[in-house]
Structure 1
């Protein structure tokens, strides 16, 4: 049997219309989406299929929508006999990775990330926090520039995505100041990100305390395959450890480059991006061009992956 790992996209990948073809093609996806609507008490499905886009982009909607979309695809893959050897997700995608590994119940996970999104929105008033992608500068160089910032305008490393692509996060003023200094230090470009808050920075610590209380209400079971955690870039399977790392994940950097390096070294036949978009497949290629990747987001891309998976096996 071929050896595959799943990676799951995070916030920013959402788009109106995502998941609709899967919903219309597979009964178990329809069932999952309908259950989520019932659990949330509003129709996330119609927001996903019809928009409006600005409503879908709100953190409290984007997070459950992306999770639901990824989990729907995972369920179909499971039904077709595909089992991942390991999983990981980018930021919010870690929750999809935990569902895929059997550690979180899909309906509970949808509710949990909806709450997570709300708490993240509320942690810092809109407009007061910001994030920016820094291109062409090493982690060490960025850390050097940020080391001189004082507590009143904190800026932290948020996502270490791949060589030469790192995201910073903090107060709007801090990120603006850092952007100028990083360009002076040799960054090719610094691009502001279209997000509603300073995710994965110390400004999210207040949200993490309240989130911890919500997490206690959720049943986390042992993962059936290793899930590589954003916070440590190490595999986890134990429920207690998974819960602790999900709390820390809110205000800690996403060490995605290290996770991908470990996946590339793991002698896999392919790394499969499960969910909307192809951002993570692109990151895999930047870590190692020779690694075979698939991105599955609709019945057609799912079928071409299944055809490959079943060849000679």
Structure 2
């Protein structure tokens, strides 16, 4: 049983999707649609940068989404693969919803562009931060954050894999949590180069601004279940999609639980679709028996096509 998984922010790199677009008309058409939907040249940004512009959250999110859907369309055109489940890490959940037919590509692009803008504007630059904590498990992280918070906010933001958790909140509180984690034997505890405390309650203003935008779009019936970040459970009810996307802005990404749920449901192979292979690394630590493949460029597609099990 296969699952398609889609990366989130942090997977972007200059040149992503370029060779797919140069070699497959269907990928080229995806970028052309993205340019038309957004009203600016997202294709040029993906292919040529500059890096500083690509790293801006309002640009990063539609860029990764466009590249992920370009890779998806090529995979669908060149193989007979189809998923039993789809899932995405944070922003990647929008790509998953496009793959499941719940959102149109054009609607998803416009929403994630606004999502990125609202998330960036929710907290003034420097007020919030995120940190990766390696070697401390979930319950201990929660307790550690509670002790570090004082009268500020710091809490788990991404449960990525066993022993790899990202926290988010006010900068001073995050730094206190880093020091506590080091005192308690964390393998590593470090600030991340991000511009806002994503997936924390500090993102509430962004969630409030996003809701009316989401209410303007049509959500169609899903062709397969999406394992959602908020619940780490399969959702095939289109009436729940908007609510879950709004909650996702402030809620932690339960990626480890999502993979374990798909394993319980019978998934044995994961195909990461989009730029980079970050999710493949996480999945390998969660389910060591899983078969992992990815498509983000022509060489990775050729590896899939050359596999004996395809």
TM bracket (short chain): over 0.9
The residue that corresponds to 2:266 in the other structure is 267
The residue that corresponds to 2:239 in the other structure is 240
Following TM superposition, by how much is the alpha carbon of 1:242 offset from its aligned partner in structure 2, in angstroms?
A: 1.1
- State which drifts further: 78-87 or 44-53: 78-87
Matched, 1:14 2:39: no
Following TM superposition, by how much is the alpha carbon of 1:29 offset from its aligned partner in structure 2, in angstroms?
A: 1.1
How many residue pairs get aligned? The number is 309
The residue that corresponds to 1:126 in the other structure is 125
Query: Is the 1:208–1:250 Cα contact (8 Å) retained in structure 2?
Result: yes
Query: Is the 2:75–2:81 Cα contact (8 Å) retained in structure 1?
Result: yes
Structure 2: distance between partners of 1:87 and 1:312: 20
Following TM superposition, by how much is the alpha carbon of 1:60 offset from its aligned partner in structure 2, in angstroms?
A: 0.4
Structure 2: distance between partners of 1:151 and 1:36: 44
Query: Is the 1:221–1:238 Cα contact (8 Å) retained in structure 2?
Result: no
1:182-203 superposed Cα distances (whole Å, 9 cap, x missing partner): 1112211112111110000000
Following TM superposition, by how much is the alpha carbon of 1:150 offset from its aligned partner in structure 2, in angstroms?
A: 4.7
Task: Return the TM-score normalized by structure 1.
Answer: 0.95
Alignment of structure 1 residues 1-313 onto 2, 5 Å: 3-79=1-77, 80-150=79-149, 152-308=151-307, 311=308
Query: Is the 2:268–2:289 Cα contact (8 Å) retained in structure 1?
Result: no
Structure 2: distance between partners of 1:75 and 1:274: 10
Query: Is the 2:65–2:92 Cα contact (8 Å) retained in structure 1?
Result: yes
Following TM superposition, by how much is the alpha carbon of 1:148 offset from its aligned partner in structure 2, in angstroms?
A: 3.0
Structure 2: distance between partners of 1:286 and 1:213: 38
Structure 1: distance between partners of 2:119 and 2:305: 37
SS at match of 2:14: coil
Q: Cα–Cα, structure 1 residues 301 and 185, in superposed 2: closer, same or farther, change >3 Å?
A: same
Structure 2: distance between partners of 1:242 and 1:256: 18
Structure 1: distance between partners of 2:287 and 2:215: 39
Structure 1: distance between partners of 2:20 and 2:166: 32
Query: Is the 2:148–2:180 Cα contact (8 Å) retained in structure 1?
Result: no
Query: Is the 2:146–2:155 Cα contact (8 Å) retained in structure 1?
Result: no
Query: Is the 1:70–1:275 Cα contact (8 Å) retained in structure 2?
Result: yes
Structure 2: distance between partners of 1:260 and 1:33: 30
Structure 2: distance between partners of 1:86 and 1:267: 10
Query: Is the 1:61–1:117 Cα contact (8 Å) retained in structure 2?
Result: yes
SS at match of 1:148: helix
Structure 2: distance between partners of 1:84 and 1:5: 5
Query: Is the 1:137–1:164 Cα contact (8 Å) retained in structure 2?
Result: yes
1:66-90 superposed Cα distances (whole Å, 9 cap, x missing partner): 0110111111222233211101000
Structure 1: distance between partners of 2:8 and 2:274: 9
Task: Return the TM-score normalized by structure 2.
Answer: 0.96
The runs of 5 or more residues in structure 1 that have no matched partner are none
The RMSD of aligned alpha carbons is: 1.3
